[in-house]
Structure 1
Amino acid sequence: MKGIVKSKVIILIVLSVLASFLVGCAKQKDTSSELKKITLGQSGSVCQAALLMAYEKGFLEEAGFDVTLFKGDYPTLRDGLATGKVDVTDGLLMSWLKPVESGLDLVFTTGIHTGCLAAVSLKNSRYNSFNDLKGKVIGVSGGIGGVPMNFAYRSILKEGLNPEDFEWRDYPAQQLITALENGEIQAAVTTEQVSLNWVDEGKVDFIRSSTHDHDFSGEYCCLLTFRGGFLRNDPESAEAITKAVMKAAEWVQDNKEETVDILLDKGHISGTKEYALELLEGFNYNPSVEGGKRAIDIAIKEFKETGILNNNTNEKELADRIFKDFSK
């Protein structure tokens, strides 16, 4: 009898342990299945620190998302958003406005940070402004009509000049310094991620900077960018992602050295820690919904004035179509 009782006790213990194991597995499975899969586009740029920290620090996972990273340059990310391969990214507003006017379905939800672009001339040259460069050749990266050229057009507009007063040539970003030194161009316009290195080496001086110049420095250059269909079909997720990235941006603002360490350690960026930190220190990562909306309004107005956007484009209709305010 004792043997039978003992056997029954053992069986009950085994069944109890097995049940606990199965319940644990079920719970683990349920938790995993609750995470919504999203694809986050990134280009390997230091300025995307907030987006990448939202991933690396777990802010997006805490918000309920299973994130897949999709890496590519601007044209690749643009095409990824257009074809549904990318759900959300961030990037320079000036890179998106013309494609959006032409039909690319994107929606912005917040400003992430300021800074990013610069125009430079050789150190100790006589070219200290765009006014000094009238009739001269300006080299740009990113193609004719690309972001650096758009930034140059806006800078020229602010100085009361006409883009037709200059000759424009496109170069790969890293070849601009050689073109400057060889006299092929008298100024170069590209990202600060490229040009700051030349400044540090004593080769060039800034003549324009969206990071430091008073008429650009308070303007958000990079905005959180959603595939339009994603945001309209799942606004709750878009709002949660926006809040997670804004939280990450605030974290970056307070932890820039740790941010750089993580970006380098995880292989998101290349180069030295000192240079990446110098770049990051120049950017203001205090995210702002209102600041993002204001940046869109300013850029649309100035893009129309310079002829980048069509004259018949309705500024308010375009701004309302491409911005979603989740703070209201």
Structure 2
Amino acid sequence: MATPLKDFVPEESGSSLDPAGASPTKSGPGIARRHLLKTAMGAGLALTAGVSAPAVVRADAPVRIRLAWFPNSACLSPVAAAQHRGLFAKHGLEVEFVNLAGPTDQLLEALSTRKADASVGMALRWLKPLEQGFDVRLTTGTHGGCMRLLAAKSLGITRFQDLKGRTIAVSDQAGAAKHFFSVVLMKRGIDPARDIDWRQYPADLLPLAVEKGEAHAIAHQDPDTWRFLKRPDLIEVGNNLSDEYAHRVCCVLGIRGSLLREDRPTAARITRALLEAQDLTAAHPELTAESYAPYVANTSQEDIVALLKTHTHGEHALGDVLRQQIVQYTEELKLVSVIRPTTDAVKFAQKITEDVLV
């Protein structure tokens, strides 16, 4: 079971879009291994009050890092909260966002070539490139629950087993949603290669494919799938918290290997800040939604709050728990021919994960 991070109680914040205007945050001792959220990062750290003062005053200069992300992915909204609620600053980080809109391989290449220092993304999309040798290490899981499988309500599809012989629309044939639901179907006796017709469409046209009868279901991720559920012709069949996946993380924090080797304390700072942001999101999704809203189109703050409440931002996988979940995903991806059958899942998980908080 993933390790919960608890007891994060933020104070009232100032402007969500101005890091200098964010009020300080407080944290209890119960996060991860009890020392995760120690505020003493070094001499000179002090909390300040008032919306016009910086959240944290540090004696040392902040470390500048570049964080690559896909700003239209709602499950990454805690990244925006870490920036605009002062959590990066609290941990001595000055963060520049590298906004991406292309494939995940582009993100991992940015990390491994020093164009970015860290990123958060979907484990099921990262594992194949990491198997191929990208120099990135995973330091924590962040949350679960941002992929959904929707179906046409008129077809009476209510279980994964009802999808045999159907057509499922996806936005990426190598995407995490297709990988995940292929595994789910395989484990329920449906061969995703022979029994399912996967068709690719632009993300915003996925519902239209179902409406026109070109597809019977959609496998995709939030915030799009949450917005699609407002349509009267679609229902949710399942998601990546269904059944045995209730406590499995789906997204992970990746840090370039060279940074980890050269400056492990900074890797730990990044990890702590983003874990605090996850707990902030679990306890106060409205604050995260306010910080994130400027980055996403066609989704209201109310919808962001609602969908965040369906995720498990209060549960995280660290250390041995993270490695075990990577082992599980690796073995599952072998079932659908994504990971090589000869890959040793245990050794692979040990190679690509790093526990920076010990």
TM exceeding 0.5:
yes
Query: Which has the larger displacement, 81-90 or 68-77?
Result: 68-77
TM-score (norm 1): 0.84
* Shift of residue 132, structure 1, vs aligned partner: 2.0
State which of 293, 303, 320 in structure 1 corresponds to 2:333.
303
Where does 1:87-126 land on structure 2 (aligned, <5 Å)?
87-126=117-156
Partner SS state of residue 325, structure 1: coil
- Asked if residue 135 in structure 1 is aligned to residue 177 in structure 2, the reply is no
Residue aligning to 1:219: 248
* Shift of residue 160, structure 1, vs aligned partner: 2.5
Structure 1 moving runs of 4+ over 4 Å = none
* Shift of residue 327, structure 1, vs aligned partner: 3.8
* Shift of residue 93, structure 1, vs aligned partner: 0.6
* Shift of residue 33, structure 1, vs aligned partner: 7.2
* Shift of residue 292, structure 1, vs aligned partner: 3.0
Query: Which has the larger displacement, 67-76 or 290-299?
Result: 290-299
Q: Percent identity?
A: 27
Amino acid at match of 1:41: A
Q: Counterparts of 1:295 and 1:203 in 2: how far apart (Å)? A: 35
* Shift of residue 293, structure 1, vs aligned partner: 2.9
Question: How big is each residue's C-alpha offset from its partner over 1:41-63, in whole Å with a ceiling of 9 and x where there is no partner?
Answer: 12112211222222222222222
State which of 295, 304, 307 in structure 2 corresponds to 1:268.
295
* Shift of residue 36, structure 1, vs aligned partner: 1.4
- Asked if residue 61 in structure 1 is aligned to residue 82 in structure 2, the reply is no
- Asked if residue 161 in structure 1 is aligned to residue 190 in structure 2, the reply is yes
Call closer, same or farther: CA 1:294–1:202 in 2, change over 3 Å.
farther
Which sections of structure 2, spanning at least 5 residues, go unmatched?
A: 1-57
Contact 1:120-1:206 within 8 A present in 2 as well: yes
Residue aligning to 2:12: none
Partner SS state of residue 157, structure 2: coil
Q: Counterparts of 1:190 and 1:206 in 2: how far apart (Å)? A: 11
Residue aligning to 2:317: 288
Question: How big is each residue's C-alpha offset from its partner over 1:234-260, in whole Å with a ceiling of 9 and x where there is no partner?
Answer: 111101211121122112211111211
* Shift of residue 124, structure 1, vs aligned partner: 3.1
Amino acid at match of 1:175: L
Partner SS state of residue 243, structure 2: coil
Residue aligning to 2:277: 248
Contact 1:221-1:295 within 8 A present in 2 as well: no
- Greater CA radius of gyration, 1 or 2? 1
Residue aligning to 1:38: 65
Contact 1:50-1:112 within 8 A present in 2 as well: no
Question: How big is each residue's C-alpha offset from its partner over 1:219-274, in whole Å with a ceiling of 9 and x where there is no partner?
Answer: 1011111112211221111012111211221122111112111222xx22232112
CA RMSD of superposed structures (Å): 1.8
Query: Which has the larger displacement, 55-64 or 297-306?
Result: 55-64
* Shift of residue 324, structure 1, vs aligned partner: 0.6
Q: Counterparts of 2:156 and 2:277 in 1: how far apart (Å)? A: 43
* Shift of residue 34, structure 1, vs aligned partner: 2.2
- Asked if residue 230 in structure 1 is aligned to residue 259 in structure 2, the reply is yes
- Paired positions, count: 294
Q: Counterparts of 2:76 and 2:168 in 1: how far apart (Å)? A: 27
Contact 2:229-2:236 within 8 A present in 1 as well: yes
Contact 2:75-2:222 within 8 A present in 1 as well: no
State which of 55, 80, 83 in structure 2 corresponds to 1:52.
80
Q: Greater helix share, 1 or 2?
A: 1
TM-score (norm 2): 0.78
Contact 1:41-1:71 within 8 A present in 2 as well: yes
Amino acid at match of 1:229: S
* Shift of residue 299, structure 1, vs aligned partner: 0.6
Which sections of structure 1, spanning at least 5 residues, go unmatched?
A: 1-30
Contact 1:113-1:220 within 8 A present in 2 as well: yes
* Shift of residue 155, structure 1, vs aligned partner: 1.2
Contact 1:51-1:89 within 8 A present in 2 as well: no
Question: How big is each residue's C-alpha offset from its partner over 1:136-177, in whole Å with a ceiling of 9 and x where there is no partner?
Answer: 2221112x2221210121111221221122122111111111
Q: Counterparts of 1:252 and 1:168 in 2: how far apart (Å)? A: 34
- Asked if residue 193 in structure 1 is aligned to residue 223 in structure 2, the reply is yes
Contact 1:107-1:225 within 8 A present in 2 as well: yes
Query: Which has the larger displacement, 225-234 or 91-100?
Result: 225-234
Amino acid at match of 1:132: D
- Asked if residue 239 in structure 1 is aligned to residue 254 in structure 2, the reply is no
Amino acid at match of 2:101: D
Q: Counterparts of 1:82 and 1:236 in 2: how far apart (Å)? A: 19
Q: Counterparts of 1:137 and 1:269 in 2: how far apart (Å)? A: 29
